[in-house]
């Protein structure tokens, strides 16, 4: 088989874990042709973003202490992941060069006092640039040939939507095949940085937070893999986040549609856009646990999951969201007023996760990512006051969380919504907004952030999601 394997930040968080990844890849590459996609070491992308933002405020002291601890973490990981002194030396040299380059970039940002989307993407790309050589070294240390590539070197070409870039799939497939096929045919394991790519001008882009999953499915399609395996720190896609509900159960099988729905609504185990490419080509995806490789994980294919009787299959808590309410008597019966609101958000690359409106049409409520709130409100105000004043007020709530209850068989099952809302009411928790997609695959609603976990736990229990 041809398998693309992606190892998430949680699977490469330490040298010891990276050594284990080297071992796993070696075992599978004896029987299969394997290509590897790797994330940054756990927590590194967040710290890069934070330091980029600090640098913008001209905080140079922060840069030096950051880069030296980043260098130390990666050297420590190299030393414990790799036994061979010569491979260690090779990797450390690359690491030192990359960190020195990062320091220059951050210093530049500090002097200019500006972190543009371009420079932010470049800074973010260093997490994977630093992890890939170590993983490649750990594979070589197990006597398996390996070569590492950045997404750009491998041939992933995207549009210029920095931070949420989309691959130009035909061109990308052609380049990936041209560059990686010969490597794989020689029995060499290519290790490609997840998350990062480049636009047509060669400027580094990234495909969205958690986007190494997306890189893996892009490779899966381009290299015509038989399966894509997403290795993480839990057994597969579960009925809810096991960190929130320890009784959460692994779902052995899901359709692309079900898994995508779960990903969009916060099941962190899968990137929301990752299932697009494989769905078209019908390539199975498996979510597997690096710490429990005997378990075959969750298999995602075209077929819906087996249990046809259970209407609710999973529940997710979506944190870091905010609610925007737009009011205006002039919106009532004014054709195109909703379109104008969405047009403004779309043009500013703000994704609307949930929408709800009153029959009176005088109000529309939306849920967006919390970090987009400032951009959303200012742009709505500027654009809609200008365009004939169809809105009178924009209010926001940033201390909210969204809950999504999902299941393909909710469709046509009476009473699911009332049961859900009864559970919430019994807990004395107030619902701020409700939305149900016409697909009826999910019901989602918004509560105050402090109540989110309790609501998820109660729904999980009430619908017996811990039992098959
Ligand atoms: P990785 O570093 O492997 O990409 P992530 O942190 O992105 O890992 O995703 C794995 C985490 O997602 C798990 O540790 C788990 O806590 C969380 N998670 C949230 N919801 C779910 C779910 N429904 N199923 C599985 N994991 C989930
Ligand atoms: N390192 C990137 C992130 O933290 C991509 C990934 O881990 O999938 O978002
Ligand atoms: Mg992830």
- Closest protein CA for atom 8 of ligand 2: 210
CA 214 to ligand 3 centroid distance, Å: 10
Question: 365 CB contacts (<8 Å, ≥6 apart)?
Answer: 323, 324, 325, 326, 355, 356, 357, 433
Pairing state between β 196-199 and 227-232: unpaired
What 3-state class would DSSP assign to 287? strand
CA 247 to ligand 1 centroid distance, Å: 15
Q: How many Å apart are CA 7 and CA 18, to the nearest integer?
A: 9
Residue 309 lies in a domain: no
Residue 286 lies in a domain: no
Residue 250 lies in a domain: no
Domain's final residue, options 232, 247, 272: 232
Q: Could you tell me if 211 and 345 lie in one domain? A: no
Q: Could you tell me if 198 and 333 lie in one domain? A: no
HSE, CB side, 13 Å, CA atoms: give it for residue 191: 27
Best mutation site among 128, 212, 241 for ligand 1, i.e. most ligand atoms within 8 A of its Cβ? 241
Q: pLDDT at position 406, please?
A: 87
Q: pLDDT at position 437, please?
A: 65
Q: Could you tell me if 115 and 17 lie in one domain? A: yes
Domain's final residue, options 232, 267, 298: 232
Q: Could you tell me if 338 and 199 lie in one domain? A: no
Question: Measured from the CB, is residue 125 less than 6 Å from ligand 1?
Answer: no
CA 116 to ligand 1 centroid distance, Å: 30
Residue 444 lies in a domain: yes
Q: How many residues appear in the chain?
A: 468
Q: pLDDT at position 326, please?
A: 87
Q: pLDDT at position 452, please?
A: 96
Q: How many Å apart are CA 132 and CA 98, to the nearest integer?
A: 12
Report how many domains make up the chain. Answer: 2
Q: pLDDT at position 341, please?
A: 84
Q: pLDDT at position 269, please?
A: 74
Q: Could you tell me if 326 and 224 lie in one domain? A: no
CATH of the domain at 160: 3.40.1160.10
Q: Could you tell me if 329 and 210 lie in one domain? A: no
Domain's final residue, options 232, 254, 281: 232
Q: Could you tell me if 59 and 161 lie in one domain? A: yes
Q: Could you tell me if 123 and 218 lie in one domain? A: yes
Best mutation site among 13, 42, 212 for ligand 2, i.e. most ligand atoms within 8 A of its Cβ? 212
Q: Could you tell me if 208 and 342 lie in one domain? A: no
Residue 241 lies in a domain: no
CA 267 to ligand 1 centroid distance, Å: 6
Question: 126 CB contacts (<8 Å, ≥6 apart)?
Answer: 48, 98, 99, 102
What 3-state class would DSSP assign to 316? strand
Question: Measured from the CB, is residue 250 less than 6 Å from ligand 1?
Answer: no
Q: Could you tell me if 320 and 189 lie in one domain? A: no
Residue 254 lies in a domain: no
Q: Could you tell me if 347 and 219 lie in one domain? A: no
CA 291 to ligand 3 centroid distance, Å: 16
Tell me which residue range forms the domain holding 57: 2-232
- pTM > 0.75: yes or no: yes
Each residue's pLDDT expressed in tens, for the chain with a length of 468 residues: 999 999 999 999 999 999 999 999 999 999 999 999 999 999 999 999 999 988 988 777 789 999 999 999 999 999 999 999 999 999 999 999 999 999 999 999 999 999 999 999 999 999 999 999 999 999 999 999 999 999 999 999 999 999 999 999 999 999 999 999 999 999 999 999 999 999 999 999 999 999 999 999 999 999 999 999 999 999 999 999 999 999 999 999 988 988 888 887 766 778 889 999 999 999 999 999 999 999 999 999 998 666 667 788 899 999 889 999 988 766 666 667 777 888 889 888 888 888 888 666 678 899 999 988 999 999 888 877 765 666 778 899 999 999 999 887 776 677 888 899 999 999 999 999 998 765 667 889 999 999 999 999 999 999 999 998
The radius of gyration of the chain's CA atoms, rounded to the nearest angstrom, is: 23
CATH of the domain at 438: 3.30.2130.10
Q: Could you tell me if 157 and 63 lie in one domain? A: yes
Residue 19 lies in a domain: yes
Question: Measured from the CB, is residue 259 less than 6 Å from ligand 1?
Answer: no
What 3-state class would DSSP assign to 267? coil
Q: pLDDT at position 449, please?
A: 96
Residue 69 lies in a domain: yes
Q: Which atom of ligand 2 is nearest to the CA of 271?
A: 8
């Amino acid at each position: 088989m041809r398998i693309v394997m992606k190892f998430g930040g949680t699977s490469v968080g330490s040298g010891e874990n990276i050594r284990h990844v080297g071992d796993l890849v070696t075992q599978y590459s004896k029987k299969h042709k394997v290509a590897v996609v790797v994330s940054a070491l756990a927590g590194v992308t967040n710290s890069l973003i934070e330091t980029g933002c600090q640098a913008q405020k001209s905080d140079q002291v922060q840069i030096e202490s950051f880069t030296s601890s980043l260098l130390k973490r990666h050297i420590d990981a190299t030393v414990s992941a790799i036994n061979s002194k010569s491979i260690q030396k090779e990797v450390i040299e690359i690491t030192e060069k990359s960190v020195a380059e990062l320091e220059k970039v951050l210093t530049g940002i500090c002097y200019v006092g500006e972190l543009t989307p371009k420079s932010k993407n470049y800074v973010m790309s260093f997490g994977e640039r630093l992890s890939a050589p170590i993983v490649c070294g750990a594979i070589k240390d197990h006597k398996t040939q390996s070569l590492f590539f950045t997404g750009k070197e491998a041939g992933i070409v995207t549009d210029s939507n920095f931070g949420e870039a989309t691959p130009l799939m035909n061109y990308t497939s052609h380049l990936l095949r041209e560059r990686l096929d010969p490597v794989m045919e020689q029995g060499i394991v290519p290790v490609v940085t997840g998350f990062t790519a480049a636009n047509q001008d060669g400027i580094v882009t990234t495909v969205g937070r958690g986007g190494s999953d997306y890189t893996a499915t892009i490779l899966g399609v381009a290299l015509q893999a038989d399966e894509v395996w997403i290795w993480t720190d839990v057994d597969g896609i579960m009925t809810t986040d096991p960190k929130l509900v320890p009784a959460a159960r692994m779902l052995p099988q899901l359709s692309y549609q079900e898994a995508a729905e779960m990903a969009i609504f916060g099941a962190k185990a899968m990137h929301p856009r990752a299932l697009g490419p494989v769905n078209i080509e019908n390539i199975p995806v498996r979510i597997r646990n690096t710490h429990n490789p005997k378990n075959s994980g969750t298999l995602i294919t075209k077929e819906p999951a087996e249990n046809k009787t259970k209407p609710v299959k999973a529940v997710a808590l979506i944190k870091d969201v905010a609610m925007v309410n737009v009011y205006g008597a002039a919106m009532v019966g004014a054709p195109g007023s909703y379109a104008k609101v969405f047009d403004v958000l779309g043009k500013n690359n703000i994704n609307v996760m949930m929408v709800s409106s009153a029959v009176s049409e005088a109000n529309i409520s939306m849920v967006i990512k919390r970090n987009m709130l400032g951009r959303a409100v200012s742009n709505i105000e500027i654009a809609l006051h200008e365009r004939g004043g169809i809105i009178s007020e924009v209010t926001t709530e940033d201390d909210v969380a969204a809950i999504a209850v999902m299941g393909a068989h909710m469709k046509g099952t009476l009473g699911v919504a009332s049961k859900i809302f009864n559970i919430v009411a019994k807990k004395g928790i107030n619902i701020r907004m409700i939305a149900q997609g016409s697909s009826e695959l999910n019901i989602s609603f918004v509560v105050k952030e402090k109540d989110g976990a309790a609501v998820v736990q109660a729904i999980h229990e009430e619908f017996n999601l811990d039992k098959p």
